[in-house]
Copies of this chain bind each other. A is one copy, B any other.
Amino acid sequence: MGPVLLALVVLLAAARVGGSAAERFRQPAVLGELAAGILLGALPLAGLHGLEYAARDEVVGAIAELGVIFLLFEVGLSTRLADLLKVGPSALLVAVVGMAVPMALGYGAGQLLLPGRHPFVSLFLGATLCATSVGITARVLKDMGRVGSVEGQIILGAAVIDDVLGLLVLAVMVGLVEGQGAPLPTLGLVGGKAVAFLALALVVGRWAAPRLFRGASRMHGKGVLFTAALVACLGLSWLAEVAGLAPIVGAFAAGLVLEGVPWDELLPEGDRIEDLFLPLSTATVPLFFVRMGLQVDLRALAGGPVLLALALILAAFLGKQACGLAVLQRGVDRLAVGIGMVPRGEVGLIFAGIGMSLKLGGAPLLGPGELAAVVAMVLVTTMVTPPLLRWRLARPG
């Protein structure tokens, strides 16, 4: 137990110091957590027992995985399914364009700069560019009090659809790589499984959850509803994995399902289910990102990957500017929408992490060089967005 405790202490402390430093300069905490991880990894501490554990131990890795699961669960909880269904043609078009164009550009960049590699590598790199980070976007909009603006609503609506489409893309990718081929039936099966799981989980879940949680609220003891929500989150994550999807897809679905539970009636006055999960995610989410940073090999950035990183950054930025052109309404600040879609946070990193864990011909699909390029892209898009969006939205008129 000792090394696990030390690893948790080192990672939590580094994440918090990095996160606070980033927030001091008005940057998202996730940026500082990644940077702290990269810094820790670059220090000559390879022999330190706790650090080795932090980067490689199964227990620490599983707790970090639970962090991502809680994060996607919370994103689902704060996403109104009604918004997903009611979003107009604009948000849908923005989402589709904002996913297709960066993905095509990323695929092109990969094919151009990684000539000897399997096309799946380029496809996966493209996929890391497709999903906007709802968390970062929402955070900036909220801090500026612009969630309710037309631009804000389009960005949030599109980002939510983007996230779902991104999860489907991920499911398709993983299925493709693990199936070692891309025949249409396979693609249809993987995509169909993803849609069927989500549709079943959402339709059955949204119907059953209010009834189940009403029943649970009649059980004796403290924390019954919290535990039931936790069981739902972990249970749907498990079911998603059984269905061949990533656990985070299930966690997101669990969040969407539980968003439909009438918590106002079930919880004591003033309690919010999101707030009850806050300590769990505060304790585990940073572990995922600092550990991701710790696994970045800065030396791998030298040589080829710098070009790849620049190409990905360009593809990420230009690809999302196409979104602005897809807005149907008049009088909307198209540039603001484009900027708002730029940040690639946790989802891009999660994709990269999964790409590293997939095997293609015995070797990992994404190597440390590709990961470093994606991390550079995430770092730049995440860092550049808050000041740019603030500048654009703060303009008079």
Contact = CB atoms under 8 A, between A and B. Distances in A.
Interface of A: 1-2, 4-6, 8-9, 12-13, 15-17, 19-21, 23-24, 29, 58-59, 62-63, 65, 219-224, 226-228, 230-231, 234-235, 237-238, 241-242, 247, 276-280, 282-283, 286
A20 B282 contact: no
A208 to B, nearest CB: 15
Nearest to A270: B270
Contacts of A231: 9, 12-13, 16
A24 B220 contact: yes
A20 to B, nearest CB: 4
Nearest to A6: B238
Chain A contact surface mostly:
helix
11 contacts: A1-B241, A1-B247, A2-B238, A2-B242, A15-B227, A16-B221, A16-B228, A19-B221, A21-B220, A59-B62, A227-B282
A172 to B, nearest CB: 20
Contacts of A59: 58-59, 62
Given A1-B65, A222-B282, 15 more contacts: A1-B62, A1-B247, A5-B241, A8-B234, A12-B230, A12-B234, A16-B228, A17-B219, A21-B220, A223-B279, A226-B282, A226-B283, A227-B286, A230-B283, A277-B279
A269 B123 CA distance: 51
A16 B59 CA distance: 24
B221 A62 contact: no
A221 B29 CA distance: 8
B237 A5 contact: yes
Contacts of A29: 221
Contacts of A2: 238, 241-242, 247
Nearest to A62: B59
A278 B222 CA distance: 10
A226 B20 contact: no
Contacts of A230: 12, 283
A358 to B, nearest CB: 14
